[in-house]
Structure formats: C-alpha cells, structure tokens
C-alpha cells in the first residue's frame, strides 16, 4: 500500500468522525484531537476503523504516535511495510 | 384495542411530525419494537410500541405534524378477539442482531419505500439501513443473516469491514436540526434554573487504579472491544445510585418519587454545537463491557441523528463527562424532572499524598448537582464519596 493510499484511508475515516471539518486544510503536524475536536470515543473509533480497513491493530501504548496526521501515516506505513517484508 | 399515540419526549415537546412508518396494517408487533420515526426538536426519534399485538389501522399519514397524545395507529393487543385476518402476515420474530455491539430491534416489516434511503427492495433493519447509509455501502451488495435473509446491523458492520480501501468519499448526512435542538436545550435548562434549587458538591478522586486496570484490560483486546474510563464512570454512578435513591427518580407535581430502575442519561455533545442525554437503560445491571458497547452505539446513533423514544424520555439520573480534554470540573444543570447530575472533569496529574509520601497521581474531579427539594448536601456528599470509593476497585465494578 502506498503512502497516498494510506493517507486516503485516514482522510476518509477522519471525515466520518468529523464530517464538517475541511480535511484539505488540516495541518499534518497538528494534534488531531485539537484540530478536529475529537474526544477519546472518537479516537477509539478512528483506531477501530484503522483496524478494520488496514488490518493494523494499534495497541493503546502506540496511541501517541497517531496523534498527528503525519505521525499516523508514518506509523501505518511502517506497520504495513513490516508485514509485507 | 389500544391507541399508539404520539409520545411526549420531554416537557418541552408539543408536537411531532411522523416521517416514517416501519409497519403496515396487519403487522405483528411486540413490546419494544420500533414501529415509526418521528421528527422532533431533538432530531428524528424512533418510536417504540408498548403493546404486543397486531397493527389494525394506521391513523396518521406520513409527514403529518400532530400534537402529543394524538393516536397514530390502533393496535389489537395479543389475546383480544381478532377481526377476520387480513392477508397473511409475515411472522418473522423480531430478533436481536447476533453480533451487534448492542441489540438492535428488527421491525417485523419494513416500509418498502422511504425517502432518503438509497437501496430499496432488500429487507433490512432500520439500524442496518442507517449504518449502510452512513458508511456509503450498497445494501444490495450485503448478505443478510436475519429472518428471511433480512440484513441486520452486524451484516452491515461486516460489510463495512470488508470494504476495499479507497472507497468513494462521502459525507455523513446529519439528521439533526441544531437550531431546534438549541431551542429545546434553552427551554429545558431555563425551566431547570427557574424551578430547581440546585446545590453543588465536588470530590477529587484518584483514578490511578482505573487507569492501570484499563491499560491492562485493553492490552489484549482489539480496538472493537476496548474500554474507556467513561464506561467505568457510568457503572460507578449506576451502582452508587442504587444505594442512594434520593438521586434517582423524578420530581413531579410537587413531590419527589424515587424509581427502582436505573436509566442513566449520558450527555453527548453534538458536533457543531448541541447536546442530548439519551439513557442507557438498566445501567446498574449491565457489565462494564455491555455499558461500553451501549455507549459506543448511543454516541454513534446520537451523532447520526437517530435515537429511540424511550432513550430520550426516561433517564432517571444524568452523567456528564468532559473526557480527556477541556477543564477539570463541570457543574451541571439538572435535566427536569430528574433530580441529580454527576459531572466528571478531565483527568489531570496532581501531587497526591499516599501513605505519607507525595507522588503524582491522575485525579478526576467529580461533581454533583443535586435538587434540594429531593435531597440535602449530607446525602449528596455520601453519594459522591461512594462513587469515588467504587472507582478504587474497577475490577469489581
């Protein structure tokens, strides 16, 4: 899976959680919780969606790595890369 | 024969618009089935039937706005002498979806056409249709596991899980009128502040035990089954309120009446502004896992703009939680005719004395807004302390 495809999935799932937000304007380095006004339930739904869509089961200890869009993309690219290799 | 009436979904509701019938004349219904959808200030609400029997006649057409109490349909109660039977009626028993996070009630018969539903011609529960719509899935592409091949919530969930990545971009339709919701909040809160002599208490509680227990429990679980502190908080309040009935009930017509059932209203913030507090029924009897599943389901349906009539009307006490962001304490306004609201602030690291030594601990400020007509500060303090105590042993909740 390419970086662009991962970004597409993330964008789609974030837009399910925060449909009224303009994700095109999202700063990839911003804290998603602040930028999109998402709470712990939303974040859990985000992680659940990642599990369903990409098969990556993100442990709670890794949550901090997914707090920005750029961080989440890097994290998932690494995880999906590992699985392939 | 009984009338199925436009319910009152709160002191401020005068009328509702019938937007969907989920049954036809002749349909067998049982207590608790969702048989109609009504548009109110609080959004579209699924209306449950209180009797088991057969729908004899539908009295109010689609899109009619009628006052609270207006008969919407006539139900022949089970056991009553039947009129000559109409056309054969599908007898598929309403079954809860097997693997859904919360039981989804299947309407026995689905109105064949309905506005805003893209896929027709397939039998599907309302919850399944909604989920499919929210996730942009085509119902005709999903295999049903319900009665007569009907598609239930869990089928759509499985379908969503299987969807190949990169599906069409879509926006969720929000079925809530936020202006109307603001007006409803204004009416209820103004009445509360006018009529209810509030008193407030607060209690700082070390939630370290909850955090470690959650971390340990969630470590072995897939995201679908993970728990949040909110589920523990809900369980602690529901358990404590059983011992303190002065906080669980309704103040009506000049007197307070405690109730035996514990239906905890959960304040849910609506994106874009707005708030509703649908009830988790019998919260004291549910496990933490069951409560978590209910919470997830409620939040999702609430934000999607669809809740059930009984959920909006009958909470016996309310919990409001700020979650992990925001500030340390919230002082709630009681939702009449209830008499108490328990607030949870965000957890913060604070220096704390344990066994004579100071160390950092995660602290949550729990508050109680109490109705002085129903209870006093003394009882309120014991109630709040009990919640704090229960949160010290999360494994026993």
Residue A67 domain flag: yes
Q: Contact B323/A40, CB-based, under 8 Å? A: yes
**Percentage of chain B exceeding pLDDT 70:** 75
Q: Write down the pLDDT at residue B303.
A: 75
Give the nearest partner residue to A19 out of B172, B224, B299, using CB atoms: B172
Residue A9 domain flag: yes
In chain A, which residues have their Cβ closer than 8 Å to the Cβ of B220?
Answer: none
Q: Write down the pLDDT at residue B250.
A: 97
Residues B137-156 have pLDDT tens digits of 666 666 676 666 667 667 77
Is A60:B215 a contact under the CB 8 Å cutoff?
A: yes
Q: Contact B271/A20, CB-based, under 8 Å? A: yes
- Residue bearing the bigger pLDDT, A24 or A75: A75
Residue in chain B lying closest to A33 (CA): B325
Q: Contact B171/A60, CB-based, under 8 Å? A: no
Active site residue B263: no
**Percentage of chain B exceeding pLDDT 90:** 45
Residues A7-63 have pLDDT tens digits of 999 999 999 898 888 898 999 999 999 999 889 999 999 999 999 999 999 999 999
Residues B29-74 have pLDDT tens digits of 888 888 888 877 666 788 888 888 889 888 888 888 888 888 899 8
Task: Indicate the burial class of B219 (C-beta count within 10 angstroms; 0-12, 13-18, 19 or more).
Answer: exposed
Is B262:B238 a contact under the CB 8 Å cutoff?
A: yes
Instruction: Tell me the pLDDT band of B109, cut-offs 50, 70 and 90.
Output: very low
Q: Write down the pLDDT at residue B265.
A: 96
| Strand-pair category, B2-5 with B71-77 | antiparallel
pLDDT at B172 over 60: no
27-46 in chain A: CB under 8 A from chain B: 33-34, 37, 39-41, 44-45
pLDDT at B122 over 70: no
| Mean pLDDT (chain B, rounded) | 81
| Residue B119, C-beta contacts closer than 8 angstroms, at least 6 positions apart | B129, B132, B138, B139, B140
Give the nearest partner residue to B223 out of A18, A33, A47, using CB atoms: A47
Which residue out of B175, B229, B271 would a mutagenesis test of the A interface target, given it has the greatest number of A Cβ atoms within 10 Å?
B271
Q: Contact A59/B163, CB-based, under 8 Å? A: no
In chain A, which residues have their Cβ closer than 8 Å to the Cβ of B174?
Answer: 19-20
Structural domain of A10: 3-17+32-84
Q: Write down the pLDDT at residue B138.
A: 63
Is B319 an interface residue toward A (CB < 8 Å)? no
Instruction: Tell me the pLDDT band of B15, cut-offs 50, 70 and 90.
Output: confident
Give the range among B101-115, B181-195, B211-225, B280-294 with minimum mean pLDDT: B101-115
Is B323 an interface residue toward A (CB < 8 Å)? yes
Instruction: Tell me the pLDDT band of B360, cut-offs 50, 70 and 90.
Output: very high
Q: Write down the pLDDT at residue B161.
A: 53
Residue A74 domain flag: yes
Give the nearest partner residue to A60 out of B172, B219, B323, using CB atoms: B219
Residue labelled with tokens 């999607």: B304
Give the nearest partner residue to B299 out of A1, A41, A57, using CB atoms: A41
Q: Write down the pLDDT at residue B97.
A: 40
Residue A57 domain flag: yes
Question: Could you tell me the domains of chain B?
Answer: 1-89 (2.40.50.100), 93-173 (4.10.320.10), 185-396 (3.30.559.10)
Report the distance separating Cα B31 and Cα B4, nearest Å: 12
Q: Write down the pLDDT at residue B175.
A: 57
Strand partners, B47: B36
Residue pairs between chains A and B whose CB atoms are closer than 8 Å: 68
In chain B, which residues have their Cβ closer than 8 Å to the Cβ of A37?
Answer: 271
In chain B, which residues have their Cβ closer than 8 Å to the Cβ of A54?
Answer: 165
- Residue bearing the bigger pLDDT, B61 or B367: B367
| Residue B72, C-beta contacts closer than 8 angstroms, at least 6 positions apart | B3, B4, B5, B6, B18, B36, B58, B59, B60, B66
DSSP B151: B
Residue A61 domain flag: yes
Q: Write down the pLDDT at residue B140.
A: 63
Residue A27 domain flag: no
In chain B, which residues have their Cβ closer than 8 Å to the Cβ of A23?
Answer: none
Is A73:A81 a contact under the CB 8 Å cutoff?
A: no
Which residue out of A40, A51, A54 would a mutagenesis test of the B interface target, given it has the greatest number of B Cβ atoms within 10 Å?
A40
Min Cα–Cα distance to chain A from B392, Å: 21
Instruction: Tell me the pLDDT band of B100, cut-offs 50, 70 and 90.
Output: very low
Residues B281-322 have pLDDT tens digits of 999 999 999 999 999 999 888 877 777 777 787 899 999 998
Instruction: Tell me the pLDDT band of B251, cut-offs 50, 70 and 90.
Output: very high
Please provide the distance, in angstroms rounded to a whole number, between the alpha carbons at the two ends of chain B.
Answer: 44
Q: What is the ipTM of this complex?
A: 0.92
pLDDT at B91 over 50: no
How many domains, in total, are found in chain A? 1
DSSP B124: B
Residues B199-211 have a mean pLDDT of 98
Is A55 an interface residue toward B (CB < 8 Å)? no
Report the distance separating Cα B188 and Cα B192, nearest Å: 6
Residue A8 domain flag: yes
Residue A59 domain flag: yes
| pTM for this model (two decimals) | 0.70
């Amino acid at each position: 899976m390419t970086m662009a495809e991962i970004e597409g999935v993330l964008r789609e799932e974030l837009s399910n959680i925060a449909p009224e937000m303009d994700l095109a304007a999202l700063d990839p380095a911003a804290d998603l919780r602040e930028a999109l006004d998402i709470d712990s339930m939303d974040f859990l739904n985000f992680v659940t969606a990642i599990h369903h869509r990409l098969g990556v089961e993100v442990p709670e200890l890794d949550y901090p790595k997914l707090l920005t869009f750029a961080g989440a993309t890097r994290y998932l690219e690494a995880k999906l890369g590992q699985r392939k290799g | 024969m009984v009338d199925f009436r436009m319910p009152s979904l709160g002191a401020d509701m005068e009328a509702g618009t019938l937007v969907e019938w989920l049954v036809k004349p002749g349909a067998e219904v049982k207590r608790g089935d969702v048989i109609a959808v009504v548009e109110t200030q609080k959004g579209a609400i699924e209306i449950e039937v209180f009797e088991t029997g057969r729908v004899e006649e539908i009295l109010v057409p689609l899109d009619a706005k009628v006052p609270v109490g207006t008969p919407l349909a006539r139900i022949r109660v089970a056991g009553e002498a039947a009129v000559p039977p109409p056309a054969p009626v599908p007898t598929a028993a309403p079954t809860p979806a097997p693997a859904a996070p919360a039981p989804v009630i299947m309407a026995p018969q689905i109105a064949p056409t309905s506005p805003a539903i893209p896929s027709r011609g397939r039998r599907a529960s309302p919850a399944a249709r909604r989920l499919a719509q929210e996730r942009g899935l085509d119902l005709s592409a999903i295999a049903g596991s319900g009665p007569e091949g009907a598609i239930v919530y869990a089928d759509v969930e499985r379908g969503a899980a299987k969807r190949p990545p990169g599906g069409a971009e879509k926006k969720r339709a929000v079925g809530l009128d936020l202006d109307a919701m603001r007006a409803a909040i204004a009416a209820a809160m103004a009445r509360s502040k006018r009529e209810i002599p509030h008193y407030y208490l607060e209690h700082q509680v070390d939630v370290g035990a909850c955090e470690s227990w959650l971390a340990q429990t969630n470590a072995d679980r897939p995201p679908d089954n993970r728990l949040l502190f909110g589920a523990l908080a809900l369980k602690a309040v529901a358990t404590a309120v059983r011992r303190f009935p002065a906080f669980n009930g309704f103040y009506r017509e000049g007197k307070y009446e405690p109730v035996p059932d514990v239906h905890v209203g959960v304040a849910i913030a609506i994106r874009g502004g707005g708030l509703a507090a649908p009830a988790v029924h019998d919260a004291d009897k549910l496990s933490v896992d069951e409560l978590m599943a209910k919470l997830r389901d409620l939040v999702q349906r609430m934000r999607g703009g669809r809740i059930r009539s009984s959920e909006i009307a009958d909470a016996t006490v309310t919990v409001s939680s700020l979650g992990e962001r925001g500030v340390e304490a919230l002082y709630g306004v009681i939702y009449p005719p209830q008499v108490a609201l328990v607030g949870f602030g965000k957890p913060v690291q604070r220096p704390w004395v344990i066994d004579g030594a100071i160390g950092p601990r995660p602290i949550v400020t729990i508050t109680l807004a109490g109705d002085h007509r129903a209870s006093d500060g003394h009882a309120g303090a014991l109630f709040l302390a009990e919640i704090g105590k229960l949160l010290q042993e999360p494994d026993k909740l």
